[in-house]
Structure formats: C-alpha cells, structure tokens
Amino acid sequence: MSLLRIAPYRQIADDIAARLAASRQPDEPLSPWPEEVIVPSRGVAEAIAAALLARSPSGIAGLQLQSIETFAQRLVNASGRMPRVATPAERRLAMRSAVRVVNHPMMQGRGVSAMIERAYRDIRDGGITLADFSRRASRARGLRDARRTEALIKAWQEYERLIAQLRAIDPADLIGQAIECIGPATPRQLLAGFYDVTGMQLELIEALAKAGCLASVWIPSDSPFAAPFITSMRRFAVEEESGPSAAPVPERTAVVYESRLTELRATCTRVALLLENGAPPSSIGIVARAWDPWEVRLLNRYANESGFRTTLHDERPLTSHRIGRGALTLLRIRERGFPRAEVLELIRDGLRSETRIDVDATDIATRTARIAGGTSNDLAAMRGRSRTIDGYLALVAEIESLTASIDEDLLGRLPDMFRVETEADLSAVAALDEIAALFRRATVWRRGFDLSAVVDAMEQISLSDAPATDLPAIWAGDVMHFRGRSFRNLCAAGMQDDVFPQRRIEDPLVPDSDRRLLGLREIGDGRAEELLLFTLLSDAASESLELSYSVGDGFGKVLRPSRYLRPFSHRTGGSEVLSAPIASPNLQRQLQLLARAGTRSTFDGYVGPLGELLRSKLDPVSPTQLEDFGECPQKFFLKHVLGVRDIDQPEHEIQINHRDKGSIDHRILERFYKSLDREEIAQAAAALPVLPDALLADLDRIIDEELDALEQQMPPFNRTVREIERRATSRLLREFIADDIDDLHAQQLVPRWFEYRFGSRYRENADQPASFIVEAGGIPVRVEGTVDRIDAGGDLLRIVDYKSGKAARHGKLSDKIDRGVRLQLALYAMAIAHFFGAAPHNVSGTIKPLVVREARRTKFDFSLEEKHDRLLETLAIFVRAILAGEFPAFPNESDTDFNSCKYCPVNHSCRTRHDAEERYSMQQFGDPRTLLGGSE
C-alpha cells in the first residue's frame, strides 16, 4: 500500500528530499535511484531539487524528476514503441482541416476549431475515447443541441484520421500506451504535489498503484477542491498524519496603487530594495494570477530600470519581426493587388531581390508619380518615365513572378528569400522553416494549399526576446507556474476583481448540462480551485507577502480589488510613474528648450538677422509664400527657407490629388473661356439658367480630354472613383460656369488673361517678364507669381482666384487682408495694377469658389484702393520680420478665421501646435501680424 500525506509544498519538497537522500547508496552516486518522482509542475521539481542539493551540495545525478507526460513517453519508448506525439501546431492544423469537412454552420466561425480542439482535449484527457463518447452521446436524451454534438463527433473523427495520417498519436493515447507498458520493471514512483489530475492521468496513477509502483503520494492541500483527488488516492494509499506545520507566518499586506503602471513600478522598486538589503535573488518571487503580454513587458522594463531581470520573457510575434512580416506580405501581396507601400516595405524588410533599387529614392519617385499600386502591367504606361520608376516596375514584375503560385513550394522557399543579420533573424527563419515543414507533412491530407491556415500558423509563433543581461534574475510568473515554489519575500501583483478569482466559463460545445448527461466531469464555476490557488500562493511566502492591486489601468479604466484581499489591511502605495529616469548628456540643452520655448527664443523660430541668406528669400518671393508667412511665419521658414515639402500618400488618395485636380480645373476653365468671345458670353448669359448645349458639349469634351491625359500620365488605382469624379467635375463646372457667366455679364467683364505669369523665373513662358518690385518699409521686394485669371471691361480689371476647397474659409476676405492672413490676391492686384498701369480704384479682386453652392451667399470681393495702404504696412512688417529672422510658429485651426496648420507640411508633428503652453502664448495675439508688432 502506498503512503498518502497532505502537506504544504515546502514540506513536500523537504520530505521527498529526505526520503530520496536516505535511499541512496552513499558509495556510488551514479547508481540508479530506487525511486523516481512525478511532479505536476516545474516549480515542484525545482523545489525538490533545491532541497536535495541542500543535502548534497556537490550535486546529484541521474534522478528523474518528471512530468506525467515525460514519464509516460519514457515508459513507452523503453518498450521499444517510440510513438510520436503530434505537436501542438499539427493538432491545431489538423483540427482546422477537420472542421472544414463537417457541414454545420458553426464550423464556419473563427476560433471554432480551437474551441473544438479544447473540448476534444478535455474529453480525451478525461480518459474517454471518441468511440466511447459517441456511444454515450447516442444514448443521451436532452443534450443542448444533439445535431451540434453529432457534428462535433464528425470533426473529431476526421481529426483523428488526419493525425493518424501524419503517423502521430494524440497525447491522450500516449498515456494509454504507457498504462499498457507498466510492469514489474517499472521504477517506483513518488507522486509529488498533485491536487487534481485528469481522468487519463488518474488511470495511469491507478495502474502504477496496482502494479505496486506507486510508492507514495503527497498532496499540497486538503481544501475542498482537492477533496475528490484525495478520496481517489485513499483507495490505494494509507494516509500518514503530518506533524504540525511549523511554517513561519509572513507579514501580509495589501497595497493599493493608482494604476497598473505605478503598481508594477513599485513592485520592482520593492524587489530592488530587498536585493539592496542583501536578499538573495532566489528568495524573491513575483506572481500574478495571469500576466498579459503588456504587463510582462512593463514588468521587465521596470525591472531592468531597477537593476534586475525577471524570468518572464517578452514575447514578440513572428509576424512583427521583419522577416515574418515580409513572408506574410509576400504570401498576400498578389491578392492585395501589389500595393506600392507593401512592395517597398518588402525591400525594407530585407527581401533579396534581383532588382536593385534605392528604396528611399523609389519611395519618393513613386509617390510623386502617384502610384498607389498595381501590377507591372497596370503601370506599363509609366515605363520609361525615369530610371527609378523603371526600377520599381522591374521590382514589381519580379515580385509577381516570385509569387506566381502561392503554395507549399513558395512557403518552403520563403525562409531564404530574406536577408538574415542577427540571432533573432535566425530564429525567425527557423520558425518559418518549421511552418514550411509542417505544411509539407500535411500534404498527405491532399487538401490543397490553405493560405489562411499558414497565416494562422504564423500568428501562433512568438519569438522570445531573452534578456542578454547579467542582472540578477528574479522568478516571476503566473499562479499555475508558481505551484510548488516558495519564497521568503513574495509580491503578488494584479490582485484584481475578475482576475483572481478567475471566472470560469463553461464549454459552449459540451456544456455542463450535457456533461452531466454524458457522465463527463463538469467544468463548474472554478471557485474552489481559485481559492485553493490563492491559498497555495499565500502559504508560499515565509517572510513577507505583499498583495497589490490598482484602482485604474492608468488610461482611465476603473479596476477593483480582488475579494481575496478583504481580510487584509490595506495601505496606499507610491504614485511614482517613474523612479529615477536616466538622463542623456544632452539634458541641460533639453531643459533649456523647455525653459525658453514660447518666449520668442531661438527655439521658437527667432533665428536672428542672417543677412544675405534671408534677403535671398525675398528675391524673388511669391504672393503665396508671403501669404504663408502671414498665416504662420514658421510655415514660411519651413517651406521657403528650409525647403520642406508635403509628402504625398498616393495609397490614401483615392480621389485625384487636390493639387492635380486644381491644375486640371484651371486648365479646363482656361481652355473653355479662351474659346469664347464677348458675344458668346452675352448669348450664353441670355440663355441662363440653362447653358446652350453647344457650350456644354464643349465643356464636356475639354473635361474628357484633360482627364484622359491625366489617366495616361497617372493611371488610377481606383477607376470607379475616377469615373465618379469625372462626372462630378462636369456637374460642378457646369454650375460654376453658369454662375460665372451670369456674373461676368452683370459686371460687363470678359475673362482676358489666364494663368498670367509675371517675373523672370518664368522665362519664355512669362506673360510679363518683369517682376513686381514693391517697397516694403523702404526695402524693395521682388514679387513673382501666377494669377489664375484677369477679367477686363473698359478700364476695369478684376483679378480672379479659383478655389476648390471650402468657400467658407474665404469669408471676410477684406478683413483678412487687413490682418495679413490673406494677402496673395491683394498683392496680385497691386502687381497687375502696376503692369497694366491701372489706377487702384479700377482694380478689384475676387475669389471664385468652384463649388458654387457654398459660394453664392458670401462675397469674396475687395477693391485695391481700399486695401493698398494697409497692405503696404503689412508687407513692411513681414519683410522686416523676415530680414530680422523672426519666424514664430502661429498655430491656428479655425476654418472660418484662418487655418494655418491645415495645409502645413509639419502639422502632424509641430511642437508649438501641440504644446498647450506654447500655443497659448501665441494665440493671445490673434494673428501673426499682431504678434510681430502690427496694430490690431
């Protein structure tokens, strides 16, 4: 008869060590041990080993401290059978494949195969064969959904068939085989620290007992959850009274923190303090009911900053490693239509391509060419445009051929398609090798290549980022891995409601009501087991136990303490988000930025007078550039002094890029109006509100020609949207022209000049080769630019500026000219008055929004005469500021006032715009003109 003893883990380890030590032949330390040990967890094994080593510090050899599964495999191997247990990846894949052949709606759902696999595992581990299960199911009445159970059985049968085809067995079968192998030669086993086992495991234990190979059983608790196991062990084991436990009672406290961040930070600080006070690393443990990956990462980061590391490793999904990501991209790129960004990303991820490209240059060139994606054939029209574009097309063609067929063969080649540089790369490649091998093995199923299964398999793989530090290691883990361990000082973190105790959810496939009918073990609510786990945890500390929880996750979510903490006294923990941050050598400079930003300092765009460098920016300068300055001097600095440009995002621009669309609209209108004379305008005006058919036909023809040309130039990725835009252009311009002709007729004006260019930079294309020189505060400034349209009638001239965006933005134009935030058009008016020798009172300007609907109600006109003096004053202020090197950022985002940031190339990352303090100090001034000293 075996012996049964109920004792805490710590004592189990001591007892077993004493027994094993006593059983040794002192003269031959390599001789076989008369007894082996079966343990439920590594923790128990390590505790026993540690206790043994405390007795034999020189070491021990040959002792088997093993899990039930290892024991079973050894037993079966020793019999000469050597079966292969299917790997988890094989089992997952087999179940995925199995559910597909069963015709039941539930089989379509995501995650169903994993759930079916879990239910299968549970039933088989419970010691029930599939045949047995089907028998019980066919007899049972009142199952929740008998059809579903039938489908389930079919899936499981198919699964077993697939596993057999792989020439592997299920883990449950391994234990079954081991039971058959138990015999007189089986070494005697000590069962150390189980409080519950699966049905299959119980059968093995019983078989061991029957064969007289179960020497002794230790159970760590007599709590209600362990009761069934204790009862079953009592059938063949005699209980031994344990002596009174002399375990010291640790100091126990519950500590509340503001957030998970502060909690983990403080836990690490506490551990660091213990280490500092001389506690050995092995005497400290950190445990939680469960760790989510983010918490592991935080814990490790904080541990590192506190001078130690933990035994928990950060996991990094294979798909977030560049090689894993690249492999995935290659597998999917064809079905996604070869998006430009993904093609380039492949190169950046290290694809070894035959085609050599400079990836950054190609990135820019393809953006500028507005390539969003497509095959080399789709983009054929672009061939020959530049070497860079040709290189890109060659690359796409190469990737097309690489991915011509997506199958096991490609999968097998993937690992060698990417450049390998580091240890992590080697593991990524090895993981890909494994996946490829798995799918090669699965070809025996003859199911065809399933890309989603490959993706699923890849998503299951994590590469472990083991810390390469020599910092002391502190054990950290979850409660399940904790079992069997004990520490002098233990930190139990994350003691939150809903986390500990963890709520069990019954198996939706074989719910407890079905289990009852089928004679299977029920899942229950798990409360008893949770309580046992908590008790084991709290018994495992000998000196101090700190149980901590947070009242929030740090990002606004309320968290509640675990009910287990009720008996403890609670205290509030520190609220430091940061302990002792490491400064860079640049700290003083960084702090100086903080101290000075927002005070018109050198960090705020006040670069000081730089003579020629800045003067050259006014020689020449365009009205558009000056308007940029008027909105935000820093924007001028960035764009026109530092040369910052917008970065196009063709893949996100499903519509025609707004700049291209602007030019096309201008060209269409120019061509349209050029073909009309005063007479035709008068006739058209008379026919309003309907425009004469001939004119409409003309307009549509021009639109088609322009858009066809664009299509040649930049083949659209999305043709449907392009067609919608083509029709929209026609609709909007018809309305615009009707309105415009009406207006021209009323004003007695005719469009006379289009895209009127003045200034030397236009060379032979200039309508007026001279620049416009304006005296701004005594400094001559050379202005050059292009006017959209000039209307004329008698002595009158009108400068017209088309706007495609929201008309509302241009409201209160006159006022905005005075504030200096809109001065492009006024400056044009001044230039045109000069070139045409017109008196200011004969020159006016207007904005014509192309979307008439929004425009009609607001008037966007001004007369040059009214604006002239104030404009000169504004220019003087701006020119002085530019020459003095004053370029403060002026964030403003009001669409109706002026929106400086909307079209600024750094609006996503501008410091001034995003620092409340800096922004505030600017906005107090209303507009840059006032900020730079102008009157309000």
Partner 1 sequence: MSASQRSFAFEVAPKRPPARANLVIEAGAGTGKTTAIVAEVLSLMLEREDLAPERIVLMTFTEKAAGEIADRIRGALEDLRARLDAAITAGPVVWPEGSASPLVIIKDLERARRLIAHHLQEIDAIRSQTIHSFCQSLLRSYPIEAGLDPQFKIVEGFERSLLLGQIYDAWLDHETRTDPQTEHVAEWEQLFEHAGYLFQVRELVLALVNRRDLLGETAYAFGELAEAEGMIRDAIHAVRRCDETGDSDVQRVLEYLRATDPPPEQLTEGARLDAWIDYLRPVAPLLREANLPKRGVLKEAIRLLRSEKKGTSIYDRLVSHRAAMALIAMTRRFIAWLDEEKRALGVVDFDDLLLRTLALLDDPIVLARARAQFDYIFVDEFQDTDRTQARIIDRLARDEGGNWVPGRTVIVGDPKQSIYGFRRADPETYYRMTEQMIAAGAERRVIREQYRSDPPLLAMLNAMFSRLFASPDDPEPHDPNVFRPSYHPLIAARGSSRRTLDTPLTILQTQAEDRTGRFFAEGETIARWIHARRDGGPRDLQRFAVLFRRLTKLDDYLDALDRHGIDYVLPPTRSFLDRAAPVDLLAVLRAIAYPFDRGAQISAARSPYFALTDLEILEGGTTTSQDSDCTDPWTRFTSAIVQMAAESRHLTVAGLMDYVIGESGIEAVYAAGPDAGRHLRHLEHIRQIAFEYDLRAGGSVRQFVDEITRRRSEPEEMEPTLLDDSQNAVRIMTVHAAKGLEFETVIMPDLEFAAGGGDAVQLFTVEEPKSLVLSGRAESISAGFRLAEGEPLRKIASRREDAEMRRLFYVGVTRAMTDVVFVTSLSDQTKASGFLKCLYESLGVDRAELMTMIPAEGRELRETPIGTIAVERSTAVEGAAAELHDAADSTTAPQARSIRRRRLLDAELERDLAAGPLVPDAISLPAAVAERLSPSELASRRLGAKHRAAGLLLHRFLELWNGTDEVEPLLRQIAVEAAAEPDVVSRVRRRVTAVTRSPVFQRILQAETIGREFPIRFIEEGTPVERRIDRLIRENGGEIVVDYKSGKPAAARLVRDREQIERYCRAIREITGRPCEGLIWYIDLENDVVVEVQA
Cβ 451 to partner 1, closest distance in Å? Answer: 13
Q: Which is nearer to ligand SF4, 220 or 820 (CB)?
A: 820
| Only segment of 155-163, 506-514, 760-768, 905-913 that touches ligand SF4 (CB under 6 A) | 905-913
Q: Which is nearer to ligand SF4, 282 or 601 (CB)?
A: 601
Question: Is 904 among the residues that bind ligand SF4 (CB under 6 A)?
Answer: yes
Please choose which of partner 1, ligand SF4, none residue 106 contacts, taking the beta carbon within 5 to 8 angstroms, the exact cut-off set by kind: partner 1
Residue 70 CB contacts under 8 Å (≥ 6 apart), including other chains: none
Cβ 278 to partner 1, closest distance in Å? Answer: 13
Rounded to the nearest angstrom, the gap between the alpha carbon of residue 489 and the centroid of all alpha carbons in its chain is 37
Rounded Cα distance, 593 and 604, in Å: 9
| Only segment of 2-10, 52-60, 305-313, 902-910 that touches ligand SF4 (CB under 6 A) | 902-910
Please choose which of partner 1, ligand SF4, none residue 497 contacts, taking the beta carbon within 5 to 8 angstroms, the exact cut-off set by kind: partner 1
**Bridge partners (DSSP) listed for residue 797:** 792, 843
Q: Which is nearer to partner 1, 590 or 675 (CB)?
A: 590
Q: Which is nearer to partner 1, 58 or 935 (CB)?
A: 58
Cβ 251 to ligand SF4, closest distance in Å? Answer: 56
Cβ 810 to ligand SF4, closest distance in Å? Answer: 18
Q: Which is nearer to partner 1, 799 or 932 (CB)?
A: 932
Cβ 905 to ligand SF4, closest distance in Å? Answer: 8
Q: Which is nearer to partner 1, 202 or 474 (CB)?
A: 474
Question: Is 913 among the residues that bind ligand SF4 (CB under 6 A)?
Answer: yes
Residue 571 CB contacts under 8 Å (≥ 6 apart), including other chains: 253, 254, 255, 256
Cβ 295 to partner 1, closest distance in Å? Answer: 10
Q: Which is nearer to partner 1, 184 or 643 (CB)?
A: 643
Pick out residues in 835-894 that bind ligand SF4 (CB under 6 A): 889-891
Neighbours of 103 (CB within 10 A): 8
Q: Are strands 861-863 and 843-849 parallel, antiparallel or unpaired?
A: antiparallel
Please choose which of partner 1, ligand SF4, none residue 635 contacts, taking the beta carbon within 5 to 8 angstroms, the exact cut-off set by kind: ligand SF4
Under 8 Å between Cβ of 710 and 381: no
Please choose which of ligand SF4, partner 1, none residue 605 contacts, taking the beta carbon within 5 to 8 angstroms, the exact cut-off set by kind: partner 1
CB-count exposure of residue 881 (10 Å: 0-12, 13-18, 19+): buried
Contacts with ligand SF4 by CB under 6 A: the residue count is: 14
Cβ 830 to partner 1, closest distance in Å? Answer: 30
Q: Which is nearer to partner 1, 210 or 853 (CB)?
A: 853
Rounded Cα distance, 849 and 262, in Å: 55
Question: Is 807 among the residues that bind ligand SF4 (CB under 6 A)?
Answer: no
Per-residue CA distances from 682 to 674, 702, 742, 885 (Å): 15, 21, 9, 52
Cβ 637 to ligand SF4, closest distance in Å? Answer: 8
Cβ 912 to ligand SF4, closest distance in Å? Answer: 5
Cβ 473 to partner 1, closest distance in Å? Answer: 8
> Which contiguous run of DSSP H or E holds residue 544?
strand 541-550
Residue found under tokens 């895209």: 755
Q: Are strands 779-783 and 237-240 parallel, antiparallel or unpaired?
A: unpaired
What are the contacts of 332-335 at 24+ separation with CB within 8 A?
332/451, 332/455, 333/399, 333/403, 334/400, 334/403, 334/406
Phi, psi of 489 (to 5 degrees): -120, 125
Site string for ligand SF4, 634-663 (x = CB under 6 A): xx----------------------------
Please choose which of ligand SF4, partner 1, none residue 509 contacts, taking the beta carbon within 5 to 8 angstroms, the exact cut-off set by kind: partner 1
Please choose which of ligand SF4, partner 1, none residue 598 contacts, taking the beta carbon within 5 to 8 angstroms, the exact cut-off set by kind: partner 1
Q: Which is nearer to partner 1, 262 or 786 (CB)?
A: 262
The secondary structure of 424-470, three-state, reads: HHHHHHHHHHHHHHHHHHHHHHCCCCCHHHHHHHHHCCEEEECCCCC
Pick out residues in 155-184 that bind ligand SF4 (CB under 6 A): none
Cβ 52 to partner 1, closest distance in Å? Answer: 7
Question: Is 632 among the residues that bind ligand SF4 (CB under 6 A)?
Answer: yes
Cβ 911 to ligand SF4, closest distance in Å? Answer: 8
Q: Which is nearer to partner 1, 360 or 869 (CB)?
A: 360
Per-residue CA distances from 752 to 214, 623, 675, 802, 847 (Å): 107, 21, 11, 15, 16
Please choose which of partner 1, ligand SF4, none residue 36 contacts, taking the beta carbon within 5 to 8 angstroms, the exact cut-off set by kind: none
Q: Which is nearer to partner 1, 400 or 865 (CB)?
A: 400
Under 8 Å between Cβ of 44 and 220: no
Please choose which of partner 1, ligand SF4, none residue 246 contacts, taking the beta carbon within 5 to 8 angstroms, the exact cut-off set by kind: none
Rounded Cα distance, 328 and 344, in Å: 14
Rounded Cα distance, 919 and 760, in Å: 39
> Which contiguous run of DSSP H or E holds residue 123?
helix 112-125
Cβ 595 to ligand SF4, closest distance in Å? Answer: 20
Residue 790 CB contacts under 8 Å (≥ 6 apart), including other chains: 751, 752, 753, 756, 797, 798, 799, 800, 832
Q: Which is nearer to ligand SF4, 130 or 906 (CB)?
A: 906
Rounded Cα distance, 13 and 49, in Å: 8
Please choose which of partner 1, ligand SF4, none residue 444 contacts, taking the beta carbon within 5 to 8 angstroms, the exact cut-off set by kind: none
Q: What is the CA radius of gyration of the chain?
A: 39
Q: Which of 483, 481, 484, 479 is nearest to 499 (CA)?
A: 479
Which alpha helices (H) appear in 782-863, and where do they start and end?
813-819, 824-836, 852-855
Please choose which of partner 1, ligand SF4, none residue 900 contacts, taking the beta carbon within 5 to 8 angstroms, the exact cut-off set by kind: ligand SF4
Residue from 149, 388, 912, 921 binding ligand SF4 (CB under 6 A): 912
Q: Which is nearer to partner 1, 430 or 694 (CB)?
A: 430
Question: Is 906 among the residues that bind ligand SF4 (CB under 6 A)?
Answer: yes
Q: Are strands 772-776 and 779-783 parallel, antiparallel or unpaired?
A: antiparallel
Residue from 900, 918, 921, 927 binding ligand SF4 (CB under 6 A): 900
Please choose which of partner 1, ligand SF4, none residue 142 contacts, taking the beta carbon within 5 to 8 angstroms, the exact cut-off set by kind: none
Residue from 417, 668, 821, 910 binding ligand SF4 (CB under 6 A): 910
Under 8 Å between Cβ of 92 and 113: yes
Please choose which of partner 1, ligand SF4, none residue 403 contacts, taking the beta carbon within 5 to 8 angstroms, the exact cut-off set by kind: none
Under 8 Å between Cβ of 280 and 489: no
Q: Which is nearer to partner 1, 721 or 839 (CB)?
A: 721
Residue type, 203: E
Q: Which of 158, 164, 160, 161 is nearest to 83 (CA)?
A: 164
Please choose which of ligand SF4, partner 1, none residue 891 contacts, taking the beta carbon within 5 to 8 angstroms, the exact cut-off set by kind: ligand SF4
Please choose which of ligand SF4, partner 1, none residue 164 contacts, taking the beta carbon within 5 to 8 angstroms, the exact cut-off set by kind: none
What are the contacts of 582-585 at 24+ separation with CB within 8 A?
582/305
Cβ 499 to partner 1, closest distance in Å? Answer: 13
Rounded to the nearest angstrom, the gap between the alpha carbon of residue 694 and the centroid of all alpha carbons in its chain is 55
Q: Which is nearer to ligand SF4, 120 or 898 (CB)?
A: 898
Whether the ω angle into residue 501 lies within 30 degrees of 0, i.e. cis, is: yes
The secondary structure of 715-775, three-state, reads: CCCCHHHHHHHHHHHHHHHHHHHHHHHHHHHHHCCEEEEEEEEECHHHHHHCCECCCEEEE
By the criterion CB under 6 A, which residues form the site for ligand SF4?
Answer: 632, 634-635, 889-891, 900-901, 904, 906-907, 910, 912-913
